[in-house]
Amino acid sequence: MSIATGKGDLGTTGLLYGQRVPKDHPQIEAVGAFDALNVEVGAARLVSESPRVRLLLSDIQRCLVALMGEVSTAEPDAERHSQSDFARLQDSDLGALDRAIADLESRSLRLDGWATPGSNPVSLAFDRARVAARTAERRLCSVNAAGRSLRPLLLRWSNRLSDLLWLLARESDSQANDGGA
């Protein structure tokens, strides 16, 4: 079976359970933005030298896949998705982000004004992921207006993720300025 089915040749694509929508549908835009974010998180994971951070980023990528699955489900299929074996974001996933944020904030990072991305490759990777997270978050906000009632947890988790990525970038900035300490 080829990935090139030709079904999208006329500008439509399939949601999770087969419903066809235009490729610029808000749900598809959101899923695409989260897909781009997943790539950026993967890039940050690749350059991070911290096993703790790499493990955190792997868990975030698992959550991103679960979020994309839920967002790519049409409203009439939402109950079917919630009853399926597909992974879904949980309150514990939000809690994990909150704990990671609290841990980073307890480290007394330098947070002077606006950050200038690019002090080192690791902080740049986290800043790129943060920008992608904010884009994905904005796309997610448009999904409810298009008639898909998403759980509020998805937006809370997305918002918290961009905060965490900003802190990880600042931690990387601090480590570079402290000589890697």
Domains held by the chain: number: 1
For residue 9, being part of any structural domain is answered with no
* Residue 180 resides in a domain: no
Task: Classify residue 14: in a domain, yes or no.
Answer: no
The per-residue pLDDT for range 101-112, each reduced to its tens digit, is: 999 999 877 666
Domain harbouring 63, CATH code? 1.20.1200.10
Q: How far apart are CA 73 and CA 123, in angstroms?
A: 34
Is 32 inside a domain boundary?
A: yes
80: in domain: no
pLDDT digits (tens, 9 = 90+) for 110-150: 666 667 788 899 999 999 999 999 999 999 999 988 889 99
pTM here is 0.91
Assess if residue 2 is contained within a domain.
Answer: no
The domain containing residue 139 runs over which residues? 20-74+86-103+116-175
Angle between helices 152-177 and 26-47 (to 10 degrees): 30
